[in-house]
Chains A and B, each alone.
Chain A
Amino acid sequence: MVLKSSFHFAFYLYFRSNSGSMKILKPVGEYFILMGRVISRPEKTKIYYKQVVSEIETLGINSIGIVIIMGAVITLQTRYNLENPLIPLYLIGLTARDTMLLEFSSTIVGLILAGKVGSNIASEIGHMRITEQIDALEIMGVNSASYLVLPKVIAAVIFNPILTLISMFVGVFGGWLASVATGALSSMDYIYGIQYWFVPFYITYSLVKTVVFAIIITTVPAYFGYYVKGGALEVGRASTKGVVTSSILILLFNVILTQLLLA
C-alpha cells in the first residue's frame, strides 16, 4: 500500500514536471532506438564475454554486502512489529519469509541497486560521452551502445537473481538468528513458521521481477548517460535522473508484474 502510494506520487510529480507530450515521447523513442543498437550482434563475442565477467564483478559481486545488510535489518523490523500475545509465534517466521520472498528481496533490493548501480552506470557512460571516449569507439567502427550497455545488462540479468536469492536466504536466516538470540520465539516456532503454507511460486515470481528490474536498472541510467551533453554538472544531473527514473519504473513494473503474476 505504501509502495503503491509512493509510486502514484512520484509518477504524478514526474509527469507534472515534464508537461507536454513531446517531452515524454522523445526520450521514450530515443531509449528504444538505443536499445535497438544495444541488442545488435556484437563485433567480437570474446571481448564481450570478458566485459560481462568484469561487469559481474563491478555491478554484482560488489553489491553483495549491501544486500546482506538490508536482509538482516528487514527481519529485525518484522520481529519487533509482530511481537504480540494475540499472534501465534510461528507467524513471525511466516511473515518474515513471505515479506522477504514477495517484496523485499526483489523490489527493495532492486531500488537499492538502482541507486548504487544506476548512478555508477550513468556517471561512467556520461563521463565517457563528455570526454569523447564514445566518439572514439564510434570512429573505430565499434557499436558503442552495444559495447558499453549490453555487457552490463547481461551481467545484471545473470547476477541480480543470485543477489535476490542471497537476500532471501540471509533475510530468513537472519530472522532465525535474531529471534533465537533475543529469545522472542523458539527456534522450533520460527522454523515451523517459515515452512508453514509455503508457496514455491513466490520464488519464481520474485526472480521474474528481479530480471525485469535488472534490465531497468542497467538500461535506463545507461540511456541518460549515453545522451548527456555538456560537462560534469550535466553528468551529475544525468546520474540523478537515471536513478530517479529507474526507481519509478521499478515501482511501476512491480505493480504490473504483481497484477500479472499473482492476481
Chain B
Amino acid sequence: MIRVEHVSKSFNNEQVLHDISVSFDEGKTNLIIGQSGSGKTVLVKCINGLHEVDEGSIYFHDRNLVTMSVKERQQLRREMGNLFQGGALFDSLTVEENIKFPLDMFSTLTTGEKKERVDFCLDRVHLPTAHKLYPAELSGGMQKRAAIARAIVQNPKYLFCDEPNSGLDPITAIVIDNLISDITHEFNMTTIINTHDMNSVMEIGEKVMFIYEGFKDWEGTKDDILDSTDKNLNEFVFASNLAKKIKEKL
C-alpha cells in the first residue's frame, strides 16, 4: 500500500501539484487520470522518488520516502518496478541482458537461476523467443512487454507505469493493460498507472483518481465514473463524440 499525504510540488515558482492526498491499494491496479499537463507524471515521479516533494509525505506501508536516507531510498527502489512511457530499455543490451540487468546488479543468484528467472518473465509477457533481439528490433508493443518483464524480474512490491499504452493500437493496448492487471493480482503488487486513455480506465481501473490542474478532483472506481456528477471529470471522460453518444444511450 502507498499513502500520499498533502503532497505539493512546484517547478520554477509554478505550482504543479496542490496538497494531494490519496492512498493506493495493494493487489489492485490504481489509475491516475487527467489531461496532459495536469500533473499525473509529476505525481508518479514524486511517489517513486525521481522528484523531491516540496511538502507532504509519501508512505510505502509505514516507511516515509521523504525522510529516508539515500541508502534507504536505494533499498526501497529495489522493491519497485517501473514501466516508462517509451519502454526505456537499454539500447546497447539485448532483451535478455536488459531483463537480467537488475539481477546482475543486485541479486546473488547463480547464472542458471538468473536464466530461469529471465525465461519465466519473458514467458509471462508472451515473448518466449525474444532473448537475443535488441530493443530496436522490437515493435512498440513488444518493447512494452519486454519492459514489463524487466520491471517484474525482481519481484517488486510496487509497480509504476507511465502511460503504458501510449503509441499502441487499441488491441495491443488492451493486451498490455490486461497483462499489467494480471501481473498485479498474481504477485499482489501495488500498481500505479498514469494514463489518459479511457479504454484503460474502463478495462482495469479498480481504483481511479482524477487530477485536474494539479488538484485531486475525484476518486472512485471505474464503475463510479459513468455516474459521477463531477463537471471536470465528465468533460474529460466524455470529451470525444463517441463517448458522448455512448453516454446518451446509457
Interfacial residues, chain A to chain B (CB-CB below 8 A): 43-44, 47, 127-128, 131-133, 135-136, 138-143
Q: Which residues 64-86 of B have a CB within 8 angstroms of A? A: 74-75, 77-78, 80, 82, 84-86
Which residues of B are at the interface with A, using a C-beta cutoff of 8 A?
48-50, 74-75, 77-78, 80, 82, 84-86, 88-91, 101-102, 104-106, 160
Are A139 and B105 CB-contacts (below 8 A) given A132-B84, A133-B90?
A: no
Decide: A136 and B82 in contact? CB cutoff 8 A.
yes
Given contacts A132-B84, A133-B90, A133-B91, contact A141 B106 (CB under 8 A): yes
4 further interface pairs, Cβ-Cβ under 8 Å (given A139-B48, A140-B77): A47-B105, A135-B84, A136-B82, A140-B105
Contact of B86 among A47, A132, A141 (CB under 8 A): A132
Taking a contact as CB atoms under 8 Å apart, the answer to whether A47 and B77 are in contact is no
Which B residues are in CB contact (< 8 Å) with A131?
86, 88, 91
Is the CB–CB distance between A141 and B88 below 8 Å? no
Chain A residues closer than 8 Å to B49, beta-carbon distance: 139
Contact A141 B77 (CB under 8 A): yes
A132 partner, pick from B75, B77, B80, B88, beta carbons under 8 A: B88
Which residue of the partner chain, among A44, A133, A139, contacts B50 with CB atoms under 8 Å? A139
**List of 4 A-B pairs having minimum Cβ-Cβ separation, nearest first:** A141-B77, A132-B88, A136-B88, A141-B74
Question: What are 8 A-B pairs with beta-carbon distances under 8 A?
Answer: A43-B105, A44-B105, A44-B106, A128-B90, A135-B50, A141-B75, A141-B78, A142-B105
Q: Which one, A43, A133, A136, contacts B106 given CB within 8 A? A: A43
In the assembled complex, which residues on chain A have CB atoms less than 8 Å from the CB atom of B106? 43-44, 140-141
Assess the A132–B85 pair: CB atoms within 8 A: yes
The reply to whether B91 and A139 contact each other, CB–CB distance below 8 Å, is no
**Residue of B whose beta carbon sits closest to that of A138:** B50
The residue of chain B having its C-beta at the shortest distance from the C-beta of A50 within the complex is B104
Q: Across the interface, do B91 and A140 meet the contact criterion of CB distance under 8 Å?
A: no
| Cβ A47 vs Cβ B91 within 8 A | no
